[in-house]
Amino acid sequence: MNTQHSNNEEFRNILGTRVVFHIDFDYFYAQCEEIRSPELRSKPVCVCVFSNRGGDSGAIATANYTARKYGVKSGIPITFAKKRLEERKDAVFLPVDFDYYIEISEKAMKMMKSNADVFEYVGKDEAYLDVTKRVDGDFERASHFAQQIKNSIRDEIKLGCSIGISPNKLISKIASNFKKPDGLTIIPPDKIDEFLEPLKIRTIPGIGKKTEERFLEMNLETILDLKKLDVFTLNKEFGRKSGTYIYNAVRGIDNEPVKEREARTQYSKIVTLKKDSKDYQFLSENIIKLCKEVHDIIIKNNKMFKSIGIHFVQSDLSSKSKSRMLRNPTSNLEELQKNADQLLKEALENQTITIRRLGVKVAEISEVQGQSDITNYF
Ligand code: DGT
Ligand code: CA
Ligand code: CA
């Protein structure tokens, strides 16, 4: 063991040795479709986001592994996918059904949460579990425990997933993606360098195409290659925040704790008005402001919403609310303001009592699609 290596070990253990799982559901939307219609399992299945222009315009959200063999993947136009699958007359193209996927996701998340010391929801199809206490810090036990979780999700929900196990979130995330579908990849502390070094730079979460290309220009392809760069060079090239992140990541260093977080189903803001009122003009100004505040949170969290609601607490402290569902998820401020204002107008139509507190709420939350690239962070 060289000194560089033992240094890394020390850094990795600032929080004591942890056992962290990253669980990611395989080809999630397409697998949900297979669960509902098992006859799809032998066919190429593509889940499509049809745009409102009609016909086949739109993109592939995801595809099962049979379809992927033909080069179908997330983000490509539906027309490309159809061409690539031309020879498969049995290929199936289905529209997304988010409500159904969320239902399955919630069931699986509940099972995972009950098996964690700390549970961190990341998105519909992935979560981190800190299980250090449950397995007494033992990676052998962790491996059996993960297999049990996989089995019970499979038995009860018919859902397959891949699990990465390591001492931190970063390596576990890379490990869950290492073997898919139905993978279980265990990286105990003494195997970290061996695991990371041969991997392509791109496997580090946050490193996207552009960053990868810059490294390729410097003739650096693997994580081992990246270790040649010192932190000063990286900081100069990418800024201090990303530079340091990359420097640590290639050494398997990540001290981010698993933070308790559950799936967020709504975001809202409520204010007590300067005066009790049922005057449209006055209330509308407040609604517009509240929308802006809710919208800021939505953007910060990279979310979209499909349901918009307003809420009154009236002068007698009774409540009243009204909501509507949009046709498509959006993250657009004007659309939020327009709809909330319309709801206000409708709600005021036969309003007799004045209003004391006013709120805006968005629900049916989904992730903004497309992966963020580290170069977009800064
Ligand atoms: P995998 O690789 O077996 O985990 O496959 P997925 O499909 O579960 O892929 P993942 O984990 O990257 O994404 C989870 C879900 O997010 C996926 O089922 C569909 C959605 N998604 C991913 N990428 C895109 C995209 O580029 N566009 C759209 N509309 N949806 C996407
Ligand atoms: Ca997935
Ligand atoms: Ca995922």
Span 92-143, pLDDT tens digits: 999 998 879 989 999 999 999 999 999 999 988 999 999 999 999 999 999 9
Write phi, then psi, for 123 (nearest 5 degrees).
-165, 180
Ligand at minimal distance from the CA of 183 is 1
Atom of ligand 1 nearest to the CA of 180: 3
How far, in Å, is the centroid of ligand 1 from the Cα of 92? 17
Flag whether pLDDT at 378 surpasses 80.
Answer: no
Confidence of residue 371 (pLDDT cuts 50, 70, 90): very low
- Minimal-distance CA residue to ligand 1 atom 29: 61
Q: What is the pLDDT of residues 329-345, one digit of tens each?
A: 999 999 999 999 999 99
Which pLDDT value is given to residue 10? 59
Task: Find out whether 355 and 274 touch, Cβ atoms under 8 Å.
Answer: no
Nearest ligand to the CA of 25 is 2
Split at pLDDT 50, 70, 90, the class of 15 is low
Evaluated on CA atoms 282, 286, 288, 289, the torsion sign reads positive
The rounded mean pLDDT for the chain is 92
Cβ 253 vs Cβ 328: under 8 Å: no
For domain 28-97, the question of CATH label 3.40.50.850 is answered with no
The number of the ligand 1 atom at minimal distance from the alpha carbon of 63 is 7
Q: Residue 373: pLDDT above 50?
A: no
CB 104 within 8 A of CB 27: no
| pLDDT of 312 higher than 90 | yes
Q: Which residues pair with 94 in a beta bridge?
A: 47
Give this prediction's pTM: 0.75
- Atom 9 of ligand 1, nearest CA residue: 27
- How many A from CA of 25 to the centre of ligand 3? 7
Cα 291 from Cα 284, distance rounded (Å)? 10
Residues with CB under 6 A from ligand 1: 24-29, 49, 59, 61-62, 74-75, 125, 180-181, 369-370
* Domain covering 266-371, topology: Dna Ligase; domain 1 (3.30.1490)
pLDDT at 76 over 60: yes
| Segments of the chain assigned to CATH 3.30.70.270 | 10-27+101-249
Indicate which residue's Cα is closest to atom 23 of ligand 1.
74
The answer to whether 157 touches 107, Cβ cutoff 8 Å, is: yes
Residue with structure tokens 């190429």? 44
Q: What is the pLDDT of residue 265?
A: 76
Judged against a pLDDT cut of 50, whether residue 376 lies above it is answered with no
Q: Is the pLDDT of residue 14 over 80?
A: no
* CATH 3.40.1170.60 domain span(s) along the chain: 28-97
Distance 161 CA to ligand 2 centre (A): 8
Give the mean pLDDT of 309-313.
95
Looking at per-residue pLDDT, the higher value among 228 and 53 belongs to: 228
Q: Please give the distance, rounded to the nearest whole angstrom, from the Cα atom of residue 144 to the centre of ligand 2.
A: 22
Q: Ligand 1, residues 34, 62, 97, 373: which to mutate, most atoms within 8 A of Cβ?
A: 62
39, 45, 48, 53 alpha-carbon torsion, rounded to 10°: -90
pLDDT at 153 over 90: yes
Q: Which residues are designated catalytic?
A: 126
CATH of domain 10-27+101-249: 3.30.70.270
Atom 28, ligand 1: residue with shortest CA distance: 61
Answer whether 260's CB lies under 8 Å from 330's CB.
no
Residue with CA closest to ligand 1 atom 15? 28
CB-CB contact of 127 with 121 (8 Å) = yes
CATH 3.30.1490.100 domain span(s) along the chain:
266-371
Q: Report how far residue 104's alpha carbon sits from residue 106's, in angstroms, rounded to the nearest whole number.
A: 5
Total number of residues shown for the chain: 378
Between CA 167 and CA 26, with CA 202 as vertex, the angle to 5 degrees is 65
Distance of CA 214 from the midpoint of ligand 3 (Å): 26
